[in-house]
Amino acid sequence: MFVPYIEQFELGKKYENVFISDIIDFKYDNYDLIIFGDIIEHLDVSEAQRVLDYAYGRCKDFIVAVPYLYEQGECYDNEHEVHKQPDLTPELVAERYPYLQLLYGDGVYGYYVKKQL
């Protein structure tokens, strides 16, 4: 979580819990559902795989939303806005994250759920 966003977007009023942590190091127990909305494109492949591997065994389901073929640099003085995977396509998501199942995609965005193995 980028600290200035908490105040700017009044996240404390919208969510019961707001955690300030790097998703790569964030530890948690079991959840029914985790939503990774616009997260993995900001991580390199190995970081994103670690985050999703960690979540796989700690939640019943998860949703992953990613933009396809979308380059983005630093925004709002936040270096974490950079897309480290601007090359994502449905084919690359399937290759890099075989435990994701496409729920819906429109060529611009993909929405995936946890594949039950």
Q: Where are the domains of the chain?
A: 43-101
What confidence category does residue 18 fall into, taking pLDDT thresholds of 50, 70 and 90?
confident
Using one digit for the tens of pLDDT, what is the confidence trace for 24-51? 999 999 999 999 999 999 999 999 999 9
Q: Which residue has the higher pLDDT, 68 or 5?
A: 68
pLDDT score at 80: 80
Q: What is the mean pLDDT of residues 73-88?
A: 87
Share of the chain above pLDDT 90, in %: 69
pTM flag (> 0.85): yes
d(CA 8, CA 29): 29
pLDDT score at 1: 58
pLDDT score at 37: 92
pLDDT score at 70: 86
**3-class DSSP string for 22-81:** CCCCCCCCCEEEEEEECCHHHCCHHHHHHHHHHHHCCEEEEEEEEECCCCCCCECCEHHH
d(CA 9, CA 43): 23
At residue 114, does pLDDT exceed 90?
yes
